[in-house]
Amino acid sequence: MSSNDYLKTMGAPSFDELERAGMLPSLADLAGRGCVCVECVEEIPCNPCETSCPQGALVVGYPITNLPVVDRSKCTLCGLCIAACPGLAITIKSVEAGNAKIRFPWEYLPLPAAGDEVEMVDRLGEAVCAGKILSVNSAAKNNRTAVVTAAFPAAFVQQVASIRRKRHGTV
């Protein structure tokens, strides 16, 4: 197992660490329909991503401390794993005609709404670009984790991890 020095000092994985774990999709992978991005580079006892996937496209196997592996040829991009992952480590990203999209898990109130102008942030929570909310899915099967889709400029597709949280009442 690699030592993940960046993750263990900054709190979020670096591109190198993701790459080493086979978890940084290429721009080709992201083009068109896009792909599921699993950012879970540490061996922890966990596998709800695997059990949530109806296609058998996400595999942890035995022992459950294995890192999850995605078989992109089986993945239908249904997005069920996004809300199932207790680590909130799964997103779906895609790039088409200069626009990128990200489908990500969201557990803060107030929920964003379709049409909202938002700030897209990277893995360290730094603002990278402006974005727009396309949809918010709070289906009951997601068990109180909303799955939000946002659009932003394609140039930032590898950096973007989420949106900035709106604060209750304060700035």
Positions in the binding site for other proteins (CB under 8 A): 1, 4, 7-13, 39-48, 51-52, 62-65, 84-89, 107-109, 121-126, 143-145, 161-162, 164-165, 167-168, 170
Of 35, 66, 34, whose CA–CA distance to 50 is shortest? Answer: 66
Q: Residue 109: which of other proteins, ligand SF4, none does it interact with, CB under 5 to 8 A by kind?
A: other proteins
Q: Binding marks (x or -) toward ligand SF4, 96..135, rule CB under 6 A?
A: ----------------------------------------
Q: Which residues contact 62 (CB under 8 A, 6 or more apart)?
A: none
Q: Residue 159: which of other proteins, ligand SF4, none does it interact with, CB under 5 to 8 A by kind?
A: none
What are the structure tokens assigned to 85, written together? Answer: 């992952």
Q: In this structure, are residues 119 and 127 in contact, taking their beta carbons and an 8 Å threshold? A: yes
Cα angle, residue 154 at apex, residues 56 and 70 outer, rounded to 5°: 15
Candidate residues 68, 105, 112, 131; the one interacting with ligand SF4 per rule CB under 6 A: 68
